[in-house]
Amino acid sequence: MPDSVQNASALTADESPTTDHRVFGPSQTPTHPLATAPVGTPPFSVDGFVKEFLHELNTNQGVALSRSSINDQYLALASTVRNYLMARWLETGGKTQENQPKVVGYLSAEYLLGRQLGNALLASDLTDIAEKGLALCGIDLATLRNQEVEPGLGNGGLGRLAACFIDSLATMNVPCIGYGIRYEYGIFRQTFVDGRQVEQPDTWLQLGSPWEFPHPEASVQVNFGGHTETFTDEDGVEKSRWIPGWNVLAVPYNYMVPGYLNGRVNTLRLWSAQATNAFDLQIFNSGDYAQAVRAQTFAENISKVLYPEDSTPQGRELRLQQQYFFVAASLHDFINKELEENFDLHRLPERIAYQLNDTHPVIAVPELMRILVDEKGYDWDEAWDITGRCFGYTCHTLLPEALEVWPTELLGRLLPRHLEIIFRINEEFLAQVREQFPGDEMRARRMSIIAELPERGVRMAYLATVAATKVNGVAELHSQLLRDKVLPDFSQMYPDKFTNVTNGVTPRRFVRLANPKLSTLITDTIGSGWVTQLERLKELEPYADDADFRAAFREAKQWNKTRLTNLLKARDGIELPEGHLLDVMVKRLHEYKRQSLKLLHIVSLYEQVISGKIAAADVTPRTVVFGAKAAPGYKMAKETIHLINKVAEKINADERVEGRLKVAFPANYNVTLAEKLIPAADLSEQISLAGMEASGTGNMKFALNGALTIGTDDGANVEIRKLVGDKHFFLFGMDEPQVAALGAQGYVPGDYYQKNENLKAAIDLILSGYFSPSDQHMFDQVIYSLLNTDRFMTLADFDSYVAAQAEVEKRYADEDAWTRSSILNVARSGYFSSDRSMRDYIQRIWHTSPVL
């Protein structure tokens, strides 16, 4: 053992630098010794790393190595890596201040980050050194990585996409601030009780959060409620002003976003809500302890949980509070704290491009207008010109119910000045509509930002479309449908405003980190540059015909399956059989994603075996893994989860299908589990009804890790199929025009039930109470919804889906052919890097440049 380990208590080191609140703060000379190494050189020697690690353990955690807990060691390791990145962070701020470039301000209600330690080690090139240094201390790096609790700051694809995008911008040296909310509990932690989903608080902050930097001194006051009044200014001009009724403080917490091996560290700034007057000592002394802290409790509710249940008026109001809270703080932050003093706001569009990640942050549009008109004194037309050049809007849905509409009563009560501004924006916009389309009053009514029925409300997607420089969908098909079906009047009026940017995923996390065996094989074959130039994966194509490479590829896949098997056994008590086709469907539980179609396929296979229609020996051994959370108030989705778990319980206990069919549903699917599950998958289920999925990013992650896709022509599936080739993709189901035609002629789901013997038998088995012996009618609601309504045409696509699954089994029986297809999926999916997505945003929307 080196002296540095033995003499841990005697170690000293220079103090770590503190960082200025400003993302692009004053250029400082970093004082930390780790800051002196040029980018690209090894950041530490092993002994140097040990010294820094033990210093953090001794001074920050206050313990000697011999008495430290795993959590102490994890926090010390995180601080060691953080200190190295911190020097780069300050350097990045200095460069940005000096160059004064255009910055991307990414406004998102979600950031599903995943664990930070592994990504930080990778970005700073510290993984090998940390592993060796910790080994000298008798510590296993994997143990410390497993200690980290994933921040539950996102629900699914929207938040994970935001995390991928800010990773790519840092890697591409593009200045960016990600703005969002620091949810105290975030998305709920999912557990199952008798197969039913039960939501529990996600206490991700309980053991400490070493990756964040709180700056209470830089808090922003955010106002709500009250009323507006008119007044005459010194020049005799009549104006409006807002007299708020109450307010809260937005406290910024900064997170570092390191680029991959390039020395740039951007910032993610998340806001936490606190009361402006948190504690009333007089009330406390009178004995009313609860009332004394009421203001604090009320304020902190705003950043308590992600997506509070909005089926109640109180929940809906809290959601709007959340949305305004973070955008108001974020706009104030950049305008008043990041820009230099006396900056001419006419030039604001030259300095920042705000991207609205779905409708959640759209209230930023009237907020910027309010700042410019009410606080900065600009006239309306000047302010609208500035505002109209600052925002881009990404629409992530085709579902009308997902395009937010806020009641004017609620908006007027919570944000009265903003409602006035929205009314004026709408008035001037409708004047333009009537001028461009004279005599077409129905068009004006359709396009009005203010909806009149079923209640008067503000259509936030319309407001974003009117205000934004560009409106983009997130896959080719989605963008087309957005123009043609969701916002057709707007695309006719503003044809140049609409564009497409197909989503992507970061290869750093979802290949390099998540799949080390495959990554090593790729690097050994084509070199390391693919990690930032994912299109280079095409160089793997010739190796699909190389027997040795195919064998090595299969070996990597088997390693991933073994890793997953060990994880699920320890995490959930789930035993995965060996030698099975691993069939995976992981995504948010929603009826349009059609987990019910996958479930009916499973039940049909099972029913055919137990009824003697087919022999168990004729079934390709298959394990189906689900991963999904249902929104707490989404009853049908929660009933579907319950049904899946009950089916799994019955099938997994039935000796008649043992070794042939198994269903697993590990609770609390998250990024951490995804990083183990996706690389192990053989088959990726992307089976939404055509025309319903905006893009998907799970489909991209699976393809990049060598899983073959069974899917409809929906979202980015269309582009995946075109790139990987029809022979290496299992297409089924109606396309979008066929879906529209069937809907127009009158879809009768019961007809499909009556005509398809296997479908009828599967549904009847569920209705018989076979999977719910304690209550025969337990799942009637789920099944009757399919038989009578089936909004997403599950039964219509069932026959085609089963036929595609038969083709899957046929292809899987030829090991070499399946492996070849898997390799070609990897080789041809380089397009789906979030780096390419960012290049598209930069060229088509933001017009920003890297700062080197």
Dist. CA 71–CA 206, nearest whole Å:
11
Is 822 within 8 Å of 706 (Cβ atoms)? yes
φ, ψ for residue 334 (rounded to 5)? -75, -45
Is 438 in a helix, a strand, or coil? Answer: coil
Is 496 within 8 Å of 519 (Cβ atoms)? no
Residue type, 538: K
- 269 DSSP assignment: E
Is 83 within 8 Å of 37 (Cβ atoms)? no
The CB-side HSE value for 150 (13 A sphere, CA atoms) comes to 24
Provide long-range contacts, Cβ within 8 A and 24+ apart, for 318-321. 320/363, 320/406, 320/410, 320/411, 320/414, 320/415, 321/224, 321/414
Whether the upstream peptide bond of residue 454 has omega within 30° of 0, thus cis, is yes
- 17 DSSP assignment: P
Is 705 within 8 Å of 586 (Cβ atoms)? no
Token pair for 689: 């009804």
The CB-side HSE value for 540 (13 A sphere, CA atoms) comes to 34
Helices (H) and strands (E) in the chain, counts: 35, 23
Is 113 within 8 Å of 148 (Cβ atoms)? no
Active-site annotation, residues: 396, 587-588, 593, 697, 701
Angle at 385 (CA atoms; ends 383, 387), nearest 5 degrees: 65
Token pair for 686: 């992307």
Dist. CA 814–CA 4, nearest whole Å:
56
- 32 DSSP assignment: S
Stated as kind and residue range, the H or E segment containing 242 is strand 238-243
Provide long-range contacts, Cβ within 8 A and 24+ apart, for 408-415. 408/450, 408/456, 408/457, 408/458, 409/455, 409/456, 410/316, 410/317, 410/320, 411/320, 411/458, 413/225, 414/224, 414/225, 414/317, 414/320, 414/321, 414/324, 415/224, 415/320, 415/324, 415/363, 415/366
Is 59 within 8 Å of 14 (Cβ atoms)? no
Is 484 within 8 Å of 491 (Cβ atoms)? yes
Of 697, 741, 706, 712, the C-alpha closest to 597 is 712
Of 303, 277, 270, 305, the C-alpha closest to 291 is 277
Dist. CA 672–CA 514, nearest whole Å:
9
Which residues make Cβ contacts (< 8 Å) with residue 663, sequence separation at least 6?
A: 602, 623, 624, 626, 644, 647, 648, 651, 652
CA 468 to each of CA 354, 366, 372, 461: distance values in angstroms, whole numbers, following the listed order: 9, 12, 17, 10
φ, ψ for residue 221 (rounded to 5)? -80, 130
Is 181 within 8 Å of 255 (Cβ atoms)? no
Token pair for 99: 């160059």
**Other CB atoms within 10 Å distance of the CB of residue 271:** 28
- 594 DSSP assignment: T
- 173 DSSP assignment: T
